[in-house]
Structure 1
Amino acid sequence: MIRSKFIFFITFLTFSCPLLFSQENEIMMDSIPFGAIIQSELGGKRSKFYGNTRFTLNQAYFSNWISGGESSITGLFGMDYNYNYSDRNGLIWDTNFLLSLGATYVKGNDYTKKTDDRIEINSLIGKQINRLSSYSVYVNLKSQLRPGYNYPLTSGEEFNRERISEFFSPAIIQGGFGLYIKKEPIYWINMSPLAARVIMVNSSYTKNLSEDQKYFGVDPNKVSKFFFGASITGNIKFNLMTNITLENKFNTYINYLEKTKNIDIDWNMDFRFKVNDKISSNLIIHFIYDDDLIKKLQIRELFGLGINIDL
């Protein structure tokens, strides 16, 4: 099973790479594409820093409303920033930092509940082969900043909650070697036939598990689970129509070490509806399927009108 998965992935790269490598290998430095480049005085090195910060606020108020309703307020904060670097010798370094935090308060509740909590860092170093393609080595980190809770119990008038996660529990780290294809600013794709992955958790969440239980895929009394397989990661951004942009971020992973044929999928769609230079509306639809975390499709949807600051 491991051999068949590996052979399939290598075959895919074998037949797709010639199309990508049909470009001329020896190119002049000035022809290397790097949109909106900031020229420096460091021997022809090039770098660019850009991104977006979002503030979104949703609010509802009810007073003596006969049909019922609860006053609430929800706030969302997001950051998505990139740093790109290249030099005369075809060395490239692309890094992305993503942070998304959200909380909601409903009048009468004892606790403010989080509606979003996500931190992700992607960093890739590559050596250019031609205009579009590079050999690459990459690392990816996903986790959260704030504790997560279940709210399962009501004891008399006291509302209880159960902590189920926290910063770096879980944390997913993935890295590997592969082929990096980039056509800025439209898309980039990184295909890695050799990719390691580890899920890390705090021991306090696994020490009391029964033998048939797992915590985010980690066995009782363990603090991590290791995987080795293949991954395809990418970002595709385009305009649907005037003032409407769709950005797709996706990651798929196949584990060579497991007999299961399931493919882990992480797909985030971000629709941006621009009102003007500072105000826009965002619709985020996020799908995750990872049977090591939970054997169900995870769905996250956020919509709001707020302020966007582009850099």
Structure 2
Amino acid sequence: MKNILFVVVCLVFQYLSAQPDSLFIKTITPKEERPEWLQKSKFSIDLSEVAFVNWNAGGSNSVSALVGFYTEANYRDKYYFWNNNLTSRYGLNSQQGQQIRKTDDLFEINSNLGYKPDIISNWFYSLRLNFRTQFSNGYKYPNTDVPISRFMAPGYMFFGGGMEYGKNIDALSFYFSPLTLKATFVLDEDLANAGAFGVEPAIYDEFGELIRKGERFRREAGILITNSYQMQVVENIGLKHQVNLYTDYINNFGNVDVDWRIDFDFKVNSFVRATLGSHIRYDDDTKTRESTEVEGEFDEAGAKLQWKQFLGVGFAVDF
């Protein structure tokens, strides 16, 4: 599985990196006369609703809402850039005959500092920081008694340094880090004791008494490769792509964790827009569990490919 994933993603990675500069959503020429800060923010609401009245084919009434907030502050001069952004999203779905369910939950911070030794170079020495977690409990519905995730359970942080290429760094970026530190936080005691998200589980004696609590923190050090770009597909349709590949030096080197996002933005006017997104993940530390014949007992089924797709229409305000 890991070899197939690695080959497929690398082929896509190579194709995307080869796209011509003319496809970029915009060409950014930094003002070399003086340093500058560029700031922008976006607030969005996506809504969907389905209602049935005497509908002979059947169906359930439902309402969904997704609220998002994005802000960035970027610095640029002749030799340095420093890009910072914060992304938060929270979505709920209410369906007839069911409890309200969470559909999306993200809190993420990114910071990227780059330096190039001369003004004509397209290569940067770069430092990157990424942190992400969620706001509220996650469940394997319809079971809402036992959460499978919480705030900072998990929480992830990546920090590393390397080289980054970008002729137009805000539109196309290729980044390679030979040393990136990855930290996984599981600050919930029950999830930590269960060994969720790759931390060391608790140890119990033969009578079920706790001997040692589960670890709440996992450290890794490995290689990180990323590729991102933006392009204008046609008028009023933009595309954003980002793929991250990570492998740990010590724990099963060569087993690549994949995080791949593709988002289409369809602009109707200054306030109304539609979004179509795809998010693929594969993390060998995130194991799945399958029920056994004994009630209340589970067997570990290993890591699986994760995929999330989103289509929404709503309102967005830039400020």
Q: Give the TM-score normalised by the residue count of structure 2.
A: 0.76
Unaligned runs of 5+ residues in structure 1 are 1-32, 154-159
What per-residue deviation string (whole Å, max 9, x for no partner) do you get for residues 175-203 of structure 1? 01111223144212322111110111024
The residue that corresponds to 2:15 in the other structure is none
Q: Secondary structure at the match of 2:57?
A: coil
2:296 matched to 1:303? no
Distance in 2 between the 1:261 and 1:136 partners?
Answer: 24
Which has the larger displacement, 48-57 or 188-197?
48-57
Q: Secondary structure at the match of 2:231?
A: strand
What per-residue deviation string (whole Å, max 9, x for no partner) do you get for residues 254-300 of structure 1? 11112352111101110111212221111010001111113111111
The residue that corresponds to 1:227 in the other structure is 220
What per-residue deviation string (whole Å, max 9, x for no partner) do you get for residues 73-121 of structure 1? 0001222332111345x23211121112111011222x31111111111
2:107 matched to 1:107? no
Say which of 236, 255, 279 aligns to 1:262.
255
Say which of 197, 210, 228 aligns to 1:216.
197
Distance in 1 between the 2:73 and 2:44 partners?
Answer: 18
Taking only aligned residues, the RMSD between alpha carbons, in angstroms, comes to: 2.2
Say if 2:153 and 2:191, in contact at 8 Å, map to a contact too: no
Unaligned runs of 5+ residues in structure 2 are 1-26, 202-213, 288-302
The residue that corresponds to 1:279 in the other structure is 272
Say if 2:265 and 2:275, in contact at 8 Å, map to a contact too: yes
Say which of 139, 144, 150 aligns to 2:140.
150
Say which of 69, 74, 92 aligns to 2:81.
92
Going from structure 1 to structure 2, the CA distance change for 1:190 and 1:260 (only over 3 Å counts) comes to closer
Give the 5 Å matches for 1:121-140: 121-130=109-118, 131-140=121-130
Distance in 2 between the 1:70 and 1:114 partners?
Answer: 18
Q: Give the TM-score normalised by the residue count of structure 1.
A: 0.78
Identical positions, percent: 30
The residue that corresponds to 1:193 in the other structure is 178
Going from structure 1 to structure 2, the CA distance change for 1:103 and 1:241 (only over 3 Å counts) comes to same
Going from structure 1 to structure 2, the CA distance change for 1:56 and 1:203 (only over 3 Å counts) comes to closer
Q: Which amino acid counterpart does residue 150 of structure 2 have in structure 1?
A: E
Instruction: Tell me the number of residue pairs that the alignment of Structure 1 and Structure 2 aligns.
Output: 263
Say if 1:287 and 1:300, in contact at 8 Å, map to a contact too: yes
- Aligned-pair distance for 1:34? 5.3
Distance in 2 between the 1:247 and 1:282 partners?
Answer: 11
